[in-house]
Copies of this chain bind each other. A is one copy, B any other.
Amino acid sequence: MSTIEAKLESLGLPLPTPPAAVGAYIPVMRTGNLVVTSGQLPFIGKHLAFVGKLGAEMHEEDGWNAARLCVVNALAQIKLCVGSLDKIKQIVRLEGYVHSAHGFQSQPKVLNGASELLVELFGDAGRHTRVALGISEMPLEAAVQIALWVEVRD
Contacts and interface: CB of A to CB of B under 8 A. Distances in A.
A92 interface: yes
Given A97-B133, A129-B38, A139 B107 contact: yes
Q: How large is the interface on A (under 10, 10 to 19, 20 to 34, 35 or more residues)?
A: 35 or more
**Looking at chain A's contact residues, is the secondary structure mostly helix, strand, loop, or mixed?**
mixed
A58 to B, nearest CB: 13
A12 interface: no
Interface of A: 21-29, 31-34, 36-39, 90, 92-95, 97-98, 100-109, 111-112, 115-116, 119, 127-141, 145, 147, 149, 151
Report copies per complex: 3
Contacts of A138: 105, 107, 133-134
A76 B88 CA distance: 28
B32 A130 contact: no
